[in-house]
Structure 1
Amino acid sequence: MSSPCDPQYAPAGDVGAALMMIDSRLKAIYDGRTETDPEQQQLIDQFTASLGPRGVHDLLDGACTLIFMFMKWLQMAYEEHGKDVIEYVVPNLVATMRMMPRSVRPEAIPTMAGLLVAAGTGLSPSLWRKQYGDWTKDEMNPLEVTAFLLAEHINRLTDDRDFATRLITKAMSSADQD
């Protein structure tokens, strides 16, 4: 029996824009910049402001698609070693988010954990979230942080700072060819 949250019913959104934002944050951290560069933040703010309501929804759906794809890859990687992705990834990411109170408000953490569990059980994070209403402004940073932490987790596992970005880029390229 198919779920209404099955990924086949979910819009992919603007995966490219979401990946660009995550990759930009990864590069900043890897370059040793722990604070967001004000100029870079201004560019990101201008970019998101230029999107308009439809574009913002596409960006949110794109971030959820990234979360789903990252969790799918992690699920395969952990299952290869007889481990459960939810057991190993979700508590780690929740603990990390709890240490980031300026970026992730405590009340957003359960929603982000839910997105991870939804993706880890094969459900679309965006359709799962949609059941509970529209995204809130307070969930924007936590959503970006969630996708960022998953990408960084993948990069650490593979000992390759660009692996997560390449993973998505290759998947997008092969989807375009099909």
Structure 2
Amino acid sequence: MSSPCDPQYSPAGDVSAALMLVDSRLKAIYDGRTEVDPEQRRLDEQFTASLGPTGAHDLLDGVCTIIFMYMKWLRTACEGHDKDVIAYIVPNLVTTMRGMPRSIRPQAVPTMAGLVVAAGTGLSPSLWRRQYGDWTKEEMNALEATAFLLAEVINRITDDHDFATRLITNALSSAEAH
């Protein structure tokens, strides 16, 4: 039986723009910058505002698509080592996010855990979230952090700072070729 949250029913969104935001955060961390540069944050906010309501919605769907793709990769990697992706990823993600109270409001953490569980079980994070109403402003940093943290886990597993970004760009290139 098909679920209304099946990824086949989900819009991919603007994956390229979402990847640009995630990749810029990864590069900042790998360059030793632990705090988000206020100028970079301002540029990101300006970019997001320039998208308008439809573009912003596409960006949110794009971030959810990235989360789904990262969890799919992590699920495959975990299964290869007889590990459960949910048990492996979610506790560390929640712990990390709870340790970021200036960036991520505590009430957003359960939603992000739910998104990751949805993606880890093969459901569309975007459609899963939609059933609970519109995104809130408080969830924006948490959503971005979720995609970033999953990318960072993948990069650590592969010992390659660019692997998670390449994973998505290769998938985009492959999709464009078809």
Instruction: Give deviations 1:31-88, integer Å, cap 9, x for gaps.
Output: 0011111221121111011000000000000000000000000000000001110010
Determine helix, strand or coil for the equivalent of 1:2. Answer: coil
- The superposition leaves residues 111-136 of structure 1 with CA deviations (integer Å, 9 ceiling, x where unpaired) of 00000000000000000000000000
SS at 2:36's partner residue?
coil
Q: Where do 1:81-96 residues align within 5 Å? A: 81-96=81-96
User: What is residue 105 of structure 1 aligned with on the other side?
Assistant: 105
RMSD: 0.5
| Structure 2 residue runs without a partner (length 5+) | none
The runs of 5 or more residues in structure 1 that have no matched partner are none
So what's the TM-score if we normalise by structure 1? Answer: 0.99
2:18 corresponds to 1:22: no
Cα distance, 1:141 vs. partner?
Answer: 0.3
Amino acid of the structure 2 residue aligned with 1:31: D
Map 1:1-178; keep pairs closer than 5 Å.
1-178=1-178
Q: Distance in 2 between matches of 1:77 and 1:54?
A: 35
Take 1:42 and 1:110, find their aligned partners in 2: how far apart are those partners?
27
State the 4+ residue runs in structure 1 displaced beyond 6 angstroms. Answer: none
What TM-score do you get using the length of structure 2 for normalisation? 0.99
Q: Give the count of matched residue pairs.
A: 178
Residue identity over aligned pairs, in percent, reads 78
| Structure 2 counterpart SS, 1:141 | helix
AA of the residue aligned to 1:167:
L
* 3-state SS, counterpart of residue 4 of structure 1: coil
Query: Aligned-pair distance for 1:3?
Result: 0.2
Question: Distance in 2 between the 1:12 and 1:159 partners?
Answer: 28
Aligned equivalents of 1:39 and 1:101: distance in 2? 21
Rounded Cα–Cα distance in structure 2 between residues aligned with 1:18 and 1:56:
10
